[in-house]
Amino acid sequence: MVDDIYVMGGAALAAGNVTPVAEANFHNDPAAASRVVQDASPTLVGLDVTNDATIPTERIESYETRGGVLGTVADWLRYPVEALDARETGPSIHDAAVLADLVDPDTLDVADYYCEIDTTGGPSHGSIVCDQHGVYDEAPNAAVAIDIDVERYRNVVTTGLSGYATHAEACE
């Protein structure tokens, strides 16, 4: 009954953010991540692309200047800057990468791989083992996001936020 499952989490071909190889969402519940990968053939949208899913600081400042609904949005977008590592290009808004691809399917480039999630509790606990060289000779069970069109991503996000603000202000 479900056509597609997107999972914002993991780091298939990139470094992790809580261990050298594991991303926080998968590290916190690797059994759930493993079950989804093994049973649902998801699209995995991990740190491989979401680290680059940034909103420029100048754009956030312009929202702050406008105030109102967009001022609140600016506060939300700034939160990662204050709480997490801020990149030179602005904060990474990880979850929005999935939404941007749902709105514009050309936002992410994906490749099909056989993947497993390490649930052993060892040093790679919660990491994605992505068989990019076909060593296991298994059929692909996940589409892994391997690249993001940052300009498309930013366009989808900022267009959506502007539309939301216009609608919200009209309702006030």
- Residue 27 falls within a domain, yes or no? yes
- Residue 86 falls within a domain, yes or no? no
Amino acid at 6: Y
Tens place of pLDDT per residue across the chain (172 aa): 788 999 999 999 999 999 999 999 999 999 999 999 999 999 999 999 999 999 998 999 899 998 888 898 888 888 765 555 556 778 889 999 999 999 999 999 999 999 999 999 999 999 999 999 999 999 999 999 999 999 999 999 999 988 887 777 777 6
- Residue 100 falls within a domain, yes or no? yes
- Among residues 98, 133, 140, the alpha carbon closest in space to that of 115 is found at 140
- Residue 148 falls within a domain, yes or no? yes
Tell me the sheet residues that pair with 114.
Answer: 131
- Say how many domains are in the chain: 1
Report how far apart, in Å, the C-alpha atoms of 163 and of each of 54, 82, 158 are: 19, 26, 8
- Residue 42 falls within a domain, yes or no? yes
- Range(s) of the domain holding residue 106: 6-53+92-153
pTM to 2 decimal places = 0.90
- Residue 81 falls within a domain, yes or no? no
